[in-house]
C-alpha cells in the first residue's frame, strides 16, 4: 500500500498573508481555505501539522468511527478548561466516560418532555418585561434577554434553583471569562494570568463570581433533603465505583460550571440568530406564526405539541445551520491516521467547522439562503448525517442537544404567539467567532404585539 500523501494547502509563504485574516476574520479564512484547497486541507505550518476537514465522511471518521484516536487536548479545550476545569466538555478517557454515564439520566426523555413546565413560565415572565417597551416602541437588546432566559432555564431545569435575581450578573461574568480566553488564545504572548493587568483582573473577578455562585448553589441544595431526580442531585449522590467516595468540591464545581456555561450561551446565541433571520424574512415569520396559531391558538405550548409544530422546529434547525453557535470543533490525533486518502501525522490538530460544513455547496443547495423547509419531513433524507452537525457527533455529541432543541422550539412558539420582532437598524450585527458565534454588539430589536 502506498503511504498516504500530505493533504493540499497553502505553503508557508502564503500563510504569512493568510494568518492575519485567520485571526481577524476566522470564518472568512476557513471558507476561503476549504473552497480553494478542498475538503481536507493541511496548513503549511512547520512542525505543527493542522488539518482542516470539511467532508462529512472524514468528519464521521474523526468524531465517531475512529474517535479513540482523537483527544480533546487542543488549544480550544485547554483554554476552556482554565474556566471549567476538567468538566464533561473538556475531559477525556475514563474520567469523561464515568461522568457522561452519571449525567446522562438528567437528560432522559421524561425530563426533556417536562421542560415545558420550566420554559413557558420563564418566557412569560420575560414577555411581561417586554410589554412596557413594546407599548412605547422602544428598542432593546434581544441577545441580552436570550442570555438571561437561557441561564434561568438551565438553572431551574438542571439544578432546581431560581437564578432570576443573579442572571444578569452571572451572564456578564460568563461573557467576560469567555472573551478573555479567546483574546488569550489569539495573543499567545500576552502576560501570564497571574500578572495583575486590567484584563487579568477582570478575568479573576469573573471567575471568582462564578465560583461563588456555584458554591452557594451547592450549599443551598445540601440544606435540602437529598433528591437525585435532577442533575445536581445526581452529581451530589454520585459515588466513586472504586473507593465509594463522593465527588470532590473541585470536581463538582467543574461539572456544574461546564453545564451552566455550555447550556446557556449556546442556546441564547442560537435564539438570537433565529430572531435576526426571522426579522429579515417576513414571509418565513408569517408561515411560522400561521402554524403556531393554527396548532395552539392562545394556549401555551407543551413539549408534546412540538410534534405538530414542524416549521417551528425547522426554523430553529435552519438557524443552527447558518449560525452554528459551536462553529469549531477540534481534536488532536494520537497516532498517525488517514483521512480521505490524506495523511494525518501523529499529534496533528484536526479542525472541523460546522460553519463551513453547513455552507458546503456539494451538500446544501443555495447554502447561503435561509430556508427552514429543508428540515421539514423527508426533505433532508439524502443528506449525509455528518453534513449537519450543530451538536457535533459520535460519543462526544452534545449531551444537551434534545434539551436545546425542545427549549429553542418552545421559546420560538411562545414568543411568536405574542410578539413580532423588528430590527432597530438596517445593518445586521457582525458575526463574531468567539467561543461561540456571537452577534457583535448584541441585536437591537423592537417588539410589536402580534
Task: Give the residue closest to ligand HEM by C-beta.
Answer: 400
Q: Pairing mode, if any, of strands 50-53 and 349-352?
A: parallel
CB of 131 to ligand HEM, least distance (A): 27
Of 28 and 97, which has the nearer Cβ to ligand HEM?
97
- Distance separating alpha carbons of residues 177 and 197, to the nearest angstrom: 15
CA atoms within 13 A on the CB side of 249: 9
Q: Is 118 helix (H, G, I), strand (E, B) or coil?
A: helix
Among 81, 311, 260, CA closest to 155: 260
CB of 432 to ligand HEM, least distance (A): 16
Instruction: Find the length of the chain.
Output: 450
Q: How far is CA 227 from CA 76, 159, 162, 231, 411, in A?
A: 35, 11, 17, 10, 28
Of 329 and 416, which has the nearer Cβ to ligand HEM?
329
CB of 125 to ligand HEM, least distance (A): 20
Q: How far is CA 335 from CA 54, 66, 338, 437, in A?
A: 21, 11, 10, 31
For residue 377, report the phi and psi dihedrals to the nearest 5 degrees: 55, -135
CB of 350 to ligand HEM, least distance (A): 11
What are the grid coordinates assigned to 428, written together? 445586521
Of 66 and 202, which has the nearer Cβ to ligand HEM?
66
CB of 149 to ligand HEM, least distance (A): 12
Provide the β-strand partners of residue 330.
351
CB of 328 to ligand HEM, least distance (A): 9
CB of 173 to ligand HEM, least distance (A): 18
CB of 165 to ligand HEM, least distance (A): 21
Of 266 and 417, which has the nearer Cβ to ligand HEM?
266
- Distance separating alpha carbons of residues 363 and 406, to the nearest angstrom: 26
CB of 4 to ligand HEM, least distance (A): 25
Question: What is the contact surface with ligand HEM in residues (CB under 6 A)?
Answer: 88-89, 100, 154, 158, 258-259, 262-263, 266-267, 270, 325-326, 329, 390-392, 396, 398-400, 403-404
In sequence order, which ranges of 223-248 are alpha helices (DSSP H)?
231-237
Among 249, 225, 223, CA closest to 235: 249
- Distance separating alpha carbons of residues 398 and 106, to the nearest angstrom: 13
CB 401 within 8 A of CB 232: no
CB 180 within 8 A of CB 206: yes
Provide the β-strand partners of residue 70.
333
Of 166 and 407, which has the nearer Cβ to ligand HEM?
407
β-sheet with 419-423: strand ranges across: 139-141, 444-449, 419-423
Amino acid at each position: 500500500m502506498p503511504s498516504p500523501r500530505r493533504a493540499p494547502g497553502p505553503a508557508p509563504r502564503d500563510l504569512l498573508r493568510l494568518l492575519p485574516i485567520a485571526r481577524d476574520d476566522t470564518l472568512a479564512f476557513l471558507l476561503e481555505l476549504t473552497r480553494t484547497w478542498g475538503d481536507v486541507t493541511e496548513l503549511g505550518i512547520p512542525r505543527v501539522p493542522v488539518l482542516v476537514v470539511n467532508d462529512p465522511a472524514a468528519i464521521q471518521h474523526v468524531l465517531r468511527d475512529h474517535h479513540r484516536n482523537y483527544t480533546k487536548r487542543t488549544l480550544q479545550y485547554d483554554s476552556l478548561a482554565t474556566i471549567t476545569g476538567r468538566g464533561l466538555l473538556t475531559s477525556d478517557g475514563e474520567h469523561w466516560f464515568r461522568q457522561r454515564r452519571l449525567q446522562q439520566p438528567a437528560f432522559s426523555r421524561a425530563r426533556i418532555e417536562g421542560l415545558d413546565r420550566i420554559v413557558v413560565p420563564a418566557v412569560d415572565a420575560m414577555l411581561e418585561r417586554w410589554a412596557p417597551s413594546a407599548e412605547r416602541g422602544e428598542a432593546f437588546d434581544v441577545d441580552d434577554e436570550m442570555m438571561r432566559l437561557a441561564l434561568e432555564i438551565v438553572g431551574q431545569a438542571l439544578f432546581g434553583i431560581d437564578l432570576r435575581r443573579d442572571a444578569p450578573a452571572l451572564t456578564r461574568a460568563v461573557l467576560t471569562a469567555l472573551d478573555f480566553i479567546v483574546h488569550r488564545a489569539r495573543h499567545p504572548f500576552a502576560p501570564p494570568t497571574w500578572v495583575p493587568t486590567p484584563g487579568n483582573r477582570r478575568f479573576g473577578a469573573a471567575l471568582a463570581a462564578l465560583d461563588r455562585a456555584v458554591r452557594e448553589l451547592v450549599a443551598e441544595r445540601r440544606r435540602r433533603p437529598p433528591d437525585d431526580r435532577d442533575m445536581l442531585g445526581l452529581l451530589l449522590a454520585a459515588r466513586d465505583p472504586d473507593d465509594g467516595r463522593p465527588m470532590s468540591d473541585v470536581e463538582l464545581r467543574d461539572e456544574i460550571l461546564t453545564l451552566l456555561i455550555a447550556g446557556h450561551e449556546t442556546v441564547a446565541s442560537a435564539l438570537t440568530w433565529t430572531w435576526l433571520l426571522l426579522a429579515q424574512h417576513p414571509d418565513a415569520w408569517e408561515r411560522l406564526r400561521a402554524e403556531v396559531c393554527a396548532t395552539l391558538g392562545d394556549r401555551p405550548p407543551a413539549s408534546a405539541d412540538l410534534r405538530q409544530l414542524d416549521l417551528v422546529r425547522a426554523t430553529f434547525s435552519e438557524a443552527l445551520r447558518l449560525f452554528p453557535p459551536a462553529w469549531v470543533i477540534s481534536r488532536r490525533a494520537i497516532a498517525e491516521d488517514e483521512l480521505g486518502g490524506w495523511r494525518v501525522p501523529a499529534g496533528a490538530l484536526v479542525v472541523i467547522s460546522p460553519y463551513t460544513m453547513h455552507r458546503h455547496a456539494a451538500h446544501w443547495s443555495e447554502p447561503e439562503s435561509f430556508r427552514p423547509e429543508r428540515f421539514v419531513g423527508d426533505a433532508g433524507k439524502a443528506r449525509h448525517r455528518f453534513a449537519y452537525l450543530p451538536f457535533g457527533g459520535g460519543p462526544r455529541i452534545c449531551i444537551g442537544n434534545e434539551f436545546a432543541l425542545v427549549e429553542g422550539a418552545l421559546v420560538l412558539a411562545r414568543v411568536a404567539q405574542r410578539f413580532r420582532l423588528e430590527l432597530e437598524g438596517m445593518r445586521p450585527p457582525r458575526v463574531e467567532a468567539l467561543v461561540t458565534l456571537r452577534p457583535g454588539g448584541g441585536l437591537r430589536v423592537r417588539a410589536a404585539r402580534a
